[in-house]
Structure formats: structure tokens, C-alpha cells
């Protein structure tokens, strides 16, 4: 590892000042060139970011995905030009032309950092507070992997920069509380305490005691004082934070937004409005750099990249030579379904498990086969089935545990799960009641943007929940999740489809939502419909109508099909656990399931929105639910055999 002395010797105070000035120049020039962007925060934090990347963090631009690197998250993602400037200067593959293309179509420097698009970006940040919670997830992943594999394989820190907006958002409260409870000592958050938001001074809207708040969560809180321009002091403080044991650390760093602009320092207009040309010129004069756009002295850039490359090789080289990569092989997140499939449980016709019960049996099997599965729920572990066979809690006292108890913190749970997944090597399975997916919407959306392999388990999926009433009965939720691009939404019909859904989730390049029943369901499928989104589960030789169901309504369609047969109306029953997968199939396959010319009736205990592309008539629930026993509520809303038979008979008679 590079020593402090070696890190400092590469950059004397003159070089430090020059690097910081260039970063600040880029922070002004790119938003000006784009006519869009936030330069004020980036300007203020340039010394901190420089100290982190050149002195403190263990990272290697030649291998941006090195598993034992320190992670850096810019939760205040609007200040993305700060991170892009550092990635350019450090040699992560960005060049000046990429900074010129800031916020432009197809560039590697979009308005907010996006993982998978720009090397060196760990998570997709934008909605404030999400990155902070992602960092908590990454710290959980680090603790578990270090305990499981040993500190010679995984031992690193997670750094996150958060602003006033991040700490105002409710997700930060949930995530900070969890992090303090778990004592995540490798998590270091720098709070950019500039007392400014877009509307103006923070005291317009907020008078929180941040130090007292985080202290009550069990964090180690360090008040930095006026050192935001002093690289040596910043490095020393960060080193102290790294040596903290038993608690995450919050560094409260007072900064001056827009510094050193003579016109906009400490002013809220520096937050989101690009500076005018004359303001940039005056600021560059103070910085002592030429008044030219995208000033990038080659000697500085070369020296900076050489310095960082040397530090990176010194950290990564011995790790590779030690054989650590081979010890991580079992934790690869590819090929998991092939490893699990031979061990999957199957469900026989005499069994009637609720799909929330079936998923627990599947997860219990997965626990013994896949060491990188971790699971947890928001105070609903047994209720949702997001429970592993060992039920060994992950805690501040036991990092080997794979069962994470999130408490009543759905908002944080989703974002923390994204962080666990994007850390690498672990696949999180997290559960809550389906109606509370609303509390997780930002995390669900960011999971798909990030292609984070998270398995979201949502149980109690319809008015079949019963007596709890409309506040707890999801109606519009299936439709609302299905419109999120890239989110694989699977509503299995029975235990066999639930087992197959787990394989589909492990194969999917991104997140999956498994939507599961509270009530027991008969076994009516072999599970094969999941692979291509739909499949025939009951058929007649010459069907006059096709009944398409999902989840608990598939067995209802089977019963309705038999009633129709008794009335002389042959039918086909189709299970469609995943609309998006089915609609992505070729036309030949789609027509083999839903033959042209035969009317289709869809049956789903939720909103009918979206079914017009598949069915001629949709039976569903386009209003809020009602408090009643589940079977009574379902019958009240027409999710019952007589109503399906009535609609199907009417449709078939028109042919």
C-alpha cells in the first residue's frame, strides 16, 4: 500500500493548487458550454475530491472494477462535473472532448452519473439521498464479504459525498439509522455543509441539528471546521475517519458554494445556473489559470495520471498476486441459475402453497447452493417469504449472517439493496407487501437504470389480502411496475412457476419483481411458462375462447375453463407470468399461445391497464379495494368463476 509520505511527495503545494484550479476550471467550463449544469458545489468540493482521489482512496484506473477498490459515491449527483473532472484527470478513459460533451446526447458525461456508462462511476445517482443509501448497501456488502472471505480478499472503504438535499430526503434518515445500528465502520460520509439549496439558504426550510441527529443514530461525527481548502488537513481527517471502529463516520465539512467566484461565492444562484463568460473569466484570474475553455496542461495531466497509476498498481498488484481473485470465483453473479436449477424444489398436485411460502422454500434451497444470496425484509420477513433457511442475522456482532433485518424502512431497503448488488459479488433478495412498492419507487426505477441484480419480493399481491382493506390492497401496482423499462415483473401462478421465476430473476440483466400471493394456490402448472412469459396450462382441441390469467387467477381460469367445457364451450387456459417477456417473443410464438381469430379474456385481480394489447376483454379491478375476507372481496369485484364464465360465454357467442 502507498504510504502517506509517498502520496504527498508526488504533489507539492504548487501542484495541488494547480490541480484544484484545473478541476474548478472544468467545473465552470462544462456547464457553460452545455448551457446547463451545477458548477457551484463542484467548485467548492474540488480540494476534497482531489485529496480523495490522489491521496486517500485505493483505486486503480487501469482496472476500474477491481473488487477490492474503495468505492466513491457522489450522492449529490447534480455536481456530476466534479466526478467527471476527477475521472478525466485520473485516467479513467474520459478525455477533454468528453467534458466538452457534458450533458449532450450519447456522451459519457450525462447530467447525473450513470453506472455502466462511465468507468469509475459506481452507482446511478440523481434523486437526492439515493446515493447515500446505496453507500450503506455497499458497506454492508463489504462487511459480509470481508468476514466470509477474509480481509486479504475484501477490505476497503466506501466514501460518499452528500449535501443538504440528500440529508433532507427521508431515505437518508432510514438509511443512516440502519447504518448506525449495524455499526458499518468502513462507511465514511462527507457532508457538504454549504447551507445552500436551489431555493436559497437552508434556514428557509430546515433547522436540523445534523451533528446531534447522526450522533443519535450511533455514528462517529467529526466536525471538520474551516479546512475545505487545505488538502493536508483534509487527508489527515479522512485518515482519522478510516481508523474509526464500530461506527460509520460523518464528516461535517463547511464549504462555500461557488468558491472562489468573486460574484457568486456563498450565493444560491451558483447552485444550478451556469456562470456567464465574464464571471468565469474573473474566477479564472483568481485561480491563476489561463482564460481559455477547458484548460488542461499536459504536464499536469500526465503527472497526475502517472501518480495515480503508481498508487493503483501498488494496491492492486499484491492483491492479484495473492490469489484473491480465485477465492472470489464462487461469488460470481453470472451463471447462477444453472448452478441452482438442479437443486430446485418441485411442487406436486396435492400441495397448495401460497407463492410467498413457495419462494421461502426456493430461497432455503438457494442458501445452500449459492453463497452470494443475501435476503431480508422490511419487518415482514416471515410474511413475505424473504427468509433464508439459516435465519442467521447480519448484525454488528455477526457479519457472516446472510439474513438482513431492515426494520420498517422500505424506502431505504430498496436503495440499500441496489448498493449491495452494485458492489458486486452478492445478490440481494428483499421483501415487503406489494402495496408498499410505492415507498420503493425511486429505488425500483434506479435499479432498472443501473441494471442492478436485485430480486424484489412483493407478497400480498391483491384484494385477496382481505380485511386490511383498500390501504393494503394493491390494485394499480402491477400496471405501474410493468411500465418501468427493464424491470422484469413476474407474477407466478403456483409453486412451480415461483421456482422458475427465481431462475429467471437470476438470469435477468437487471432487477426482478416477484409478485406473490398471500393465499394458498393449487399446483396447476409445470413452471415452463416463465421462460418465455406465457404458456398453455389447459387446452381443448378446438377452443372458442382463450382465458389468460396471472398469479392466483390462473387456477381460477382453469376452474372457469372446466365450467365452460361443461356448457359446451371449449377453451384454452394460458398462464402469463410475465407480460414483457411474452411480448418480446417472436410473432410465431405469440400466435402459438394466442391464436389469431380466437377471442381472449384476461383475468387479473388488479388494474386492467395494459391488457388491451393482449386481450379483447379484461376482467380486473379498476377501483380501490374493500375491507372484507379475501374470498369475499375477490368475488365482490368479479374475480370469480361465474363472472369469468359469463364474460367468456358472451365473447365466444359473438364468433
Active site residues: 410
Contact 478, 316 (CB under 8 A): no
3-state secondary structure of 568: coil
For 169-304, list the strands marked E by DSSP.
187-193, 196-197, 200-201, 220-223, 249-254
- Is residue 102 classed exposed, middle or buried when 0-12, 13-18 and 19+ CB atoms within 10 A define those classes? buried
Report the DSSP pairing between strands 220-223 and 249-254: parallel
- Angstrom CA distances, 133 to 129, 245, 274, 336, 396, stand at 6, 20, 29, 26, 18
**CA dist 551 to 458, 557, 605, Å?**
12, 10, 9
The CA distance from 121 to 4, in Å, is 25
Share in percent of the chain as helix, strand, coil (round to 5): 45, 10, 40
Inter-residue contact 92 to 84 (CB < 8 Å): no
Residues sharing a CB contact under 8 Å with residue 632, sequence separation 6 or more, in sequence order: 466
Where are the strands (E) in 210-273, listed by range?
A: 220-223, 249-254
Contact status, residue 201 vs residue 266, Cβ threshold 8 Å: no
**Is the Cβ–Cβ distance between 258 and 40 less than 8 Å?**
yes
Show the 3-state SS of 474-486.
Answer: CCCHHHHHHCCCC
Q: Angle of helix 13-34 relative to helix 80-90, nearest 10 degrees?
A: 130
Give dist(CA 193, CA 222) in Å, integer.
12
> Are the beta carbons of 547 and 572 closer than 8 angstroms?
yes
- Kindly give, in sequence order, each residue whose CB lies less than 8 Å from that of residue 47, ignoring residues fewer than 6 positions away: 16, 20, 228, 229, 230, 231, 234
- Cell 413476474 belongs to 490
Cell numbers at residue 1, please?
Answer: 500500500
d(CA 591, CA 483): 23
- How many whole angstroms separate alpha carbon 127 and alpha carbon 75? 8
d(CA 620, CA 501): 23
Supply angle C-alpha 36, 39, 41, rounded to 5. 135
Amino acid at each position: 500500500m502507498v504510504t502517506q509520505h509517498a502520496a504527498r511527495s508526488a504533489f507539492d503545494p504548487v501542484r495541488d493548487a494547480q490541480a484544484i484550479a484545473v478541476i474548478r476550471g472544468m467545473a465552470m467550463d462544462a456547464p457553460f458550454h452545455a448551457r446547463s449544469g451545477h458548477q457551484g458545489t463542484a467548485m467548492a468540493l474540488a480540494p476534497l475530491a482531489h485529496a480523495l482521489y490522489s491521496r486517500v482512496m485505493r483505486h486503480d484506473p487501469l482496472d476500474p472494477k477491481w473488487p477490492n477498490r474503495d468505492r466513491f459515491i457522489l450522492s449529490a449527483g447534480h455536481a456530476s462535473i466534479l466526478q467527471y473532472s476527477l475521472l478525466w484527470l485520473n485516467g479513467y478513459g474520459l478525455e477533454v472532448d468528453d467534458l466538452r460533451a457534458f450533458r449532450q446526447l450519447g456522451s459519457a458525461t450525462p447530467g447525473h452519473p450513470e453506472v455502466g456508462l462511465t468507468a469509475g462511476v459506481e452507482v446511478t445517482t440523481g434523486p437526492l439521498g439515493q446515493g447515500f443509501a446505496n453507500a450503506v448497501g455497499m458497506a454492508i456488502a463489504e462487511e459480509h464479504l470481508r468476514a466470509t472471505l477474509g480481509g486479504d480478499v475484501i477490505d476497503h472503504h466506501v466514501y460518499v459525498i452528500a449535501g443538504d438535499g440528500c440529508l433532507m430526503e427521508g431515505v437518508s434518515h432510514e438509511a443512516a439509522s440502519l447504518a448506525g445500528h449495524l455499526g458499518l465502520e468502513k462507511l465514511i460520509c462527507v457532508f457538504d455543509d454549504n447551507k445552500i439549496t436551489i431555493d436559497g439558504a437552508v434556514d428557509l426550510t430546515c433547522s436540523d441539528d445534523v451533528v446531534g441527529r447522526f450522533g443519535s443514530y450511533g455514528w462517529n461525527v467529526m466536525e471538520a471546521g474551516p479546512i475545505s481548502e487545505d488538502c493536508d488537513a483534509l487527508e489527515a481527517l479522512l485518515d482519522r475517519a478510516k481508523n474509526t471502529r464500530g461506527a460509520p463516520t460523518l464528516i461535517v465539512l463547511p464549504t462555500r458554494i461557488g468558491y472562489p467566484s468573486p460574484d457568486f461565492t456563498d450565493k444560491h444562484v451558483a447552485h444550478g445556473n451556469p456562470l456567464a463568460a465574464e464571471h468565469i473569466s474573473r474566477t479564472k484570474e483568481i485561480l491563476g489559470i489561463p482564460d481559455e475553455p477547458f484548460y488542461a496542461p499536459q504536464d499536469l495531466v500526465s503527472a497526475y495520471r502517472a501518480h495515480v497509476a503508481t498508487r493503483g498498481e501498488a494496491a492492486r498488484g499484491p492483491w492479484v498476486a495473492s490469489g484473491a481473485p480465485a477465492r472470489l470465483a464462487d461469488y460470481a453473479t453470472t451463471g447462477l441459475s444453472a448452478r441452482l436449477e438442479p437443486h430446485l424444489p418441485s411442487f406436486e398436485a396435492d400441495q397448495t402453497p401460497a407463492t410467498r411460502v413457495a419462494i421461502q422454500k426456493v430461497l432455503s434451497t438457494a442458501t445452500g447452493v449459492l453463497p452470494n444470496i443475501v435476503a431480508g425484509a422490511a419487518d415482514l420477513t416471515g410474511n413475505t417469504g424473504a427468509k433464508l433457511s439459516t435465519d442467521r442475522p447480519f448484525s454488528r456482532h455477526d457479519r457472516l449472517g446472510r439474513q438482513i433485518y431492515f426494520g420498517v424502512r422500505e424506502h431505504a431497503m430498496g436503495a440499500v439493496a441496489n448498493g449491495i448488488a452494485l458492489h458486486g459479488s452478492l445478490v440481494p433478495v428483499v421483501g415487503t407487501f406489494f402495496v408498499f412498492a410505492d415507498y420503493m419507487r425511486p429505488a425500483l426505477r434506479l435499479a432498472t437504470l443501473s441494471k442492478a441484480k436485485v430480486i424484489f419480493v412483493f407478497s400480498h399481491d391483491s384484494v385477496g389480502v382481505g380485511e386490511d382493506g383498500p390501504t393494503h390492497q394493491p390494485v394499480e401496482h402491477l400496471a405501474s411496475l410493468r411500465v418501468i423499462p427493464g424491470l422484469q415483473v413476474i407474477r407466478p401462478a403456483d409453486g412451480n412457476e415461483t421456482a422458475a421465476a427465481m431462475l429467471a430473476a437470476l438470469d435477468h440483466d437487471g432487477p426482478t419483481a416477484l409478485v406473490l400471493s398471500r393465499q394458498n394456490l393449487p399446483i396447476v402448472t409445470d413452471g415452463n411458462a416463465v421462460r418465455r412469459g406465457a404458456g398453455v396450462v389447459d387446452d381443448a382441441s378446438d377452443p372458442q375462447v382463450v382465458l389468460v390469467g396471472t398469479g392466483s387467477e390462473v387456477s381460477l381460469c382453469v376452474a372457469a375453463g372446466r365450467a365452460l367445457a361443461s356448457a359446451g364451450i371449449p377453451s384454452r387456459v394460458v398462464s402469463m407470468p410475465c407480460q414483457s417477456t411474452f411480448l418480446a417473443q417472436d410473432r410465431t410464438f405469440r400466435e402459438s399461445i394466442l391464436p389469431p381469430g380466437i377471442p381472449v379474456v384476461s383475468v387479473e385481480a388488479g388494474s386492467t391497464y395494459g391488457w388491451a394489447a393482449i386481450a379483447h376483454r379484461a376482467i380486473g379491478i379498476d377501483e380501490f379495494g374493500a375491507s372484507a375476507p379475501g374470498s369475499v372481496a375477490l368475488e365482490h369485484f368479479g374475480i370469480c368463476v361465474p363472472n369469468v364464465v359469463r364474460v367468456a360465454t358472451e365473447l365466444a357467442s359473438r364468433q
